[in-house]
Structure 1
Amino acid sequence: MKVVIIDNEKGMHLIMKRMLGKVNEVEIVGSFQETSTAYSFLTNQDVDLIIMDINMPKESGLEFAGPLRESSRQMKIVFVTSHKEYSLPAFDVFAFDYIVKPVNQARLHRTVLRALSEMSSVKGSVELDSSSIRVLFNCLGGMEIRNAKNELVKWKTSKSAELFGYLLIHKGRLVSRARIIEDMFDDMPLKNAETYLYTTVYQLRKLLDTYGLKDSLHSDSNYYALELNHIDVDMLQFEEGYKQIAVVDDIHIEQALALEQLYAGDLFGDRAFHWAWSEVERFRLMYTAFTQRLCRALLNRGDTQTAIRLLTKLTAHYELDEETIKLFMKSLALQNNKVALMRQYLHYTETLYQELGISPSPIVTGYYSQLLAELDT
């Protein structure tokens, strides 16, 4: 399937390319930051799928799609945008799908597979390669497991899901039965806990066996471990990428943007496993530090638009971090947006008082005053 990407943010091109690269049947034949050059390319090329942002600088994606449809071109159009209110107008121009940013790997994968499925009915069957990765596990911002075709798999029980996550954070290391019982079943008598653990292990192994991964759940006398060779985990991808990109500069900035996209929220989402609290906090701090480094690099490059998008996401999770609010204010000041700068500082001040009963530190207050003075000169 031939795909074209149209988005005025250069960073989104790399993000989409990396996500689409996980589907073997996809060939990216073009990527454009302007609709005019994209249209010239499309009039002379056969393309199956267009993935484009609605908010383009000179011509919106909706305006671009109209003439494209009138020309009777049959390519499918998937709109990607930060604004939910465009969904109905998008389908007025016969959009194949509509995805709200930040784009989730699973969501995009599902759309592409649906497009491939429709094409297969015309061009013949499309067989997806699932020889290497058989299970996809997303635990940043939630807790879901999917098969190689990106279909959502139903957990046997909530405890089997918890056990999967528990063994996952131990990254293939053997964990004693006694420790698992202490961490996961400490609210019941030992005999009952042992029986419950056996049942949970059986349920998890049965689920994995559906995908030929029964042996991925190892048991050795009184120990258990989860083998991860055939399981694609967003948490592990993010941590590995974080280690590899020690410095975010012009050379690594596109790679860093793609990595940031993996973080959809706290580890395991709203499942408050007490045994995972330290890992949740570790990933939260890792993401915060990484995004701050990325935003500094973006501001140095003059890309305030992307920096503000990332800082908006970051403050939605951790809105009281001083370094984050300073970067946010700096981004708004670089756009000469005094009103937004004042609004952001006021919101931070009110939230800080409501949550902690304190006022901003002299460092934040002084920096805010400095930015205002620079805008007034």
Structure 2
Amino acid sequence: MDFVKPESKGGMNAALFRNTSDEDFASWSLAPWLEAPGCYLVSDDPGTLPSIDAAHRLPYPGSLPETPETSSETILAELNAQVKRLGDVACLIVDMRWALNTVWGPSTVERWGGMAQRIAETYEIAVVSLYDRETLVEDQMAAAFRVHQTFLSPSGCYDNPHWLPEALVHGATLDQQLSFFLGRIVPEFAEETFHRTQLPDAARGATPAWVRQPRHSVATDPAQSRWHIHCLGPLKVFVAGNMPVKWAIPGSAPNKSRALFAYLLNRGEGGAHADQLAELLWPEDGSENSKRARLRHAIAMLRKSLGGSATVLRTGETYRLNVPQGSWIDIRAFEQLCRRGLALFRYQDYDRAIRVYEAAERLYAGDLFGDLALDYIQSEFDDWCLPKRVWLRDMAVKLQYDMSKVLRQQGRLREALEHCQTSLRLDPLNDSANIEIMRVLAGQKRVEAIHRHYSQYVQAIGELQGEEPSEDVRSAYRELAPKTGKQGSQTKTKPLRLV
């Protein structure tokens, strides 16, 4: 190979995107370091870069994978201690598969990029982040582009034109980021603001609201930026890095604060008129003036819970959430992981499909805004939540029976059955889930169980929907249990339950 290791003065923060089925790609890309002393790998997978001996393989720090309670400084301190203890580190390769198991999505990669940069600069070493290209979702890939200065391949090292300094990744507006990019290309624009006439409260940073993509975001201090919003299951919001929002503060009505936050989040950049919010929270209670006064108090309490007046903005009679740039919302990550897992399954890459599906499964903690009172969800004037809740539940149902299909292909029938059962708990009458559980039972050679399950399904769909089984379900039943002479529809059973 003609690849020559670059000078590492000042350190190097690099990323290597590889396909794990092509180990030679990674080995050739890392050859200058693998062939020299002081090269260490942080990984829990013995199959990753097997040429690195046991003495140069390090476990992940105890604080990985991240949790909401984990700070970047904790992880950084553990890695610093490892590098100091070893003393001879020239290159630290970090297997990034751990990032798939965290709840923070792309911000995990962004936080890691900042840590890698600091380690590289402090010890003047190369820090190489090793990504599995096939399991990265779009947001994680985009985050990696923002935080690594260099990309590696067998042909050499390449400067990353999309890299941003850590200070601009966290808490900067889009204008400031654009100014940095322009300054790298055109020296005359270095250190200048892209929009000279921009007002501070009209900054153009984007926030990833899951319904609409906002165009405006008020710049905040980096330490206060980045919310992590969990909408699936109980509503949980973390601010200032990893601090959970406290809804129950003196003077507040916690249920109303959560409902107000959820509704404004759903409305995105467009926000909601004061009358809509008042009708949501007090549909049959008090005069309009009374409702407006209560709404002002509720908004004040929500701002206090979220950390300041800039968190909820008012324009005329319209209120909107000011979600900080770069914030993470679980719904977006859930959708991306489901799509990535399905693509891997269709390419028969079953091991990686399961890893991605498991990450998606961890995100689905229940129905959308699962802990909001029904009075707010089943609003007569605005059906704002239930259609989305049903749609996301359908995605979760499909996720579970797709996981069963992957596991069934691998012969892991007991695990496949568990995922079928989970799918049917979410939607007992789903055709695909009922077909899949019969296929799993057929794989276990449990013909009587197939008959029993089909009978329960026939009775349940008749009682609950007044319908006959679909042709797809009937066809699967005839295929999987053809010779017993039993007909499920003629057998009296209890209501549908799981096998």
Q: What is the TM-score when the length of structure 2 is the normalising length?
A: 0.45
* SS of equivalent to 2:369: coil
Deviation per residue, 1:159-202 (Å, 9 max, x gap): 11101111112233332223333444332332222222211111
1:199 and 1:145 mapped to 2: Cα distance? 21
User: Amino acid of the residue matched to residue 191 of structure 1?
Assistant: N
Change (3 A) 1:332 1:133: farther
Equivalent residue number for residue 153 of structure 1 = 246
Q: Does 1:180 align with 2:272?
A: no
Q: Does 1:233 align with 2:326?
A: no
Deviation per residue, 1:323-358 (Å, 9 max, x gap): 111111112212323354344334434433453455
2:46 and 2:266 mapped to 1: Cα distance? 39
User: Amino acid of the residue matched to residue 30 of structure 1?
Assistant: D
Identify the match of residue 208 of structure 1 among 292, 298, 306.
306
Range with greater deviation from structure 2 (192-201 or 252-261)? 252-261
Deviation per residue, 1:53-79 (Å, 9 max, x gap): xxxxxxxxxxxxxxxxxxxxxxxxxxx
How many residue pairs align between the two structures? 270
Q: Does 1:308 align with 2:417?
A: yes
1:262 and 1:322 mapped to 2: Cα distance? 24
Change (3 A) 1:245 1:366: closer
1:112-261 aligned at under 5 Å gives the runs 131=223, 135-147=227-239, 148-149=241-242, 151=244, 153-155=246-248, 156=252, 157-188=254-285, 189-209=287-307, 214-228=309-323, 229=325, 231-242=327-338, 247=343, 248-249=345-346, 250-251=348-349, 253=353, 254-261=355-362
Equivalent residue number for residue 30 of structure 2 = none
- Check conservation: 1:330, 1:371, Cα contact below 8 A: yes
Deviation per residue, 1:75-115 (Å, 9 max, x gap): xxxxxxxxxxxxxxxxxxxxxxxxxxxx9959xxxxxxxxx
Q: Does 1:276 align with 2:385?
A: yes
Structure having the higher Rg: 2
Change (3 A) 1:48 1:104: closer
User: Amino acid of the residue matched to residue 420 of structure 2?
Assistant: L
* SS of equivalent to 1:219: strand
2:408 and 2:461 mapped to 1: Cα distance? 26
2:294 and 2:329 mapped to 1: Cα distance? 26
Deviation at 1:369, TM superposition (A): 3.1
User: Amino acid of the residue matched to residue 190 of structure 1?
Assistant: E
Change (3 A) 1:375 1:224: farther
Deviation per residue, 1:274-295 (Å, 9 max, x gap): 2311221222233334444454
Deviation at 1:321, TM superposition (A): 0.9
Question: Percent identity between the aligned chains?
Answer: 20
- Check conservation: 2:397, 2:426, Cα contact below 8 A: no
Q: Of Structure 1 and Structure 2, which has the larger fraction of its residues in helix?
A: 1
User: Amino acid of the residue matched to residue 246 of structure 2?
Assistant: V
